[in-house]
Amino acid sequence: MPLRNHPTARQLRLGAELRRMRESAGMTARETAALLGVNSSQMTHVESGLSGVSEARLRRLAAHYACLDEALIDGLAALATDRTRGWWEEYRGILPAPFLDLAELEHHATFRRDVDFLHVPGLLQTEDYARALFSFTTPELRPDQLESWVRHRMRRRTILEGPRTIPYETVIHESALRIRVGDRAATRVQLGRILELSEADHVTVRVIPYDLDGFAGAGSAMVHMGGAVPRLDTFVRDAPYGTAFIDSEAQLDRLRSLFRKVRSVSFEPERSRDFIHRLTKEL
């Protein structure tokens, strides 16, 4: 089987989890390869996401590593056997790979949580807002490329409005609501869109106001997507070198704690809706 040229975030995650299990068991890649009857380079390819692994081999490895977490093993088996070619595949080679990875992770997520301070979260954005944002941040896009970026962002909203929705919670700072990425009319429509979505049972919108004392968490923007089990959660954060997909246990625990801390100082959903209503009337 040929090696993958560009493994997805989910394929990389499977390999990373298998490597962590092996290291926890105190085994080398060479020893594991011997168990499966392959050479060590093949095992390295599996753990780096460049090659797949069958469910039977995965479960054999888990047993040999003395992993007793059946829910985790089932979650890894789902990663190993997934052959989904979702709508995002239409954009491969057109959009940056992290865009596709994000859409795929959302498709399989059990929940999603956001924290944003400067922009309305992508899943809540209107077409006009997304178009204005991309036009400013990526001015080199041709008109057809720009429309592809916007369409992709709009299609990602299927997890909020499609046949299979997931619980979604977002914490938005007042600054993101006040900054006029578009004009006054577009901003009013954008706030109305947030209010409309916030009425859904599976959507929770919380606001952090400017006048909150003692808040130093403005660098806490993040996306948290739930996996089949908590260990398979993923955090996504923008970094100077690009989009970072975070999945180590220590970092997951730290970012979960950070999300709880930010959420704890935000308005409750009803008060948040009232707050956004007032902002709309000011426009």
pLDDT in tens, 81-104: 988 889 999 999 999 999 999 999
If phi > 0 it is left, if psi is from -120 to 50 it is alpha, else beta; for residue 93 that is left
Q: What is the mean pLDDT of residues 177-202?
A: 97
State residue 204's pLDDT score: 98
Query: Which has more confidence, 166 or 37?
Result: 166
State residue 1's pLDDT score: 58
Q: What is the mean pLDDT of residues 204-222?
A: 94
State residue 260's pLDDT score: 97
Strand pairing class (222-225; 112-116): antiparallel
Contact between 130 and 122 (Cβ < 8 Å): yes
Q: Which residues in 58-93 are b (16+ Cβ under 10 Å) and which e?
A: bbebbebbebeeeebbebbbbbbeeeeeeebeebee
pLDDT at residue 113 above 70?
Answer: yes
Q: In the chain, list all ranges with CATH 1.10.260.40.
A: 9-81
pLDDT at residue 169 above 70?
Answer: yes
- Range with top average pLDDT, 28-37, 212-221, 234-243, 249-258: 249-258
Tell me the sheet residues that pair with 116.
172
Q: What is the mean pLDDT of residues 107-113?
A: 97
pLDDT at residue 259 above 90?
Answer: yes
pLDDT at residue 144 above 80?
Answer: yes
Domain 9-81, CATH homologous superfamily name and number? lambda repressor-like DNA-binding domains (1.10.260.40)
Q: What is the pLDDT of residues 217-247, one digit of tens each?
A: 888 999 999 999 999 999 999 876 788 999 9
Question: How many angstroms separate the first and last alpha carbons of the chain?
Answer: 59
Cross-sheet strand order for the sheet of 203-208: 203-208, 168-173, 112-116, 222-225, 234-239, 242-246
How far is 43 from 19, CA to CA, in rounded Å? 9
State residue 241's pLDDT score: 73
Provide the CATH topology of domain 87-282: Endonuclease; Chain A (3.30.870)
Q: In the chain, list all ranges with CATH 3.30.870.
A: 87-282
- The confidence band for 283, taking pLDDT boundaries of 50, 70 and 90, is confident
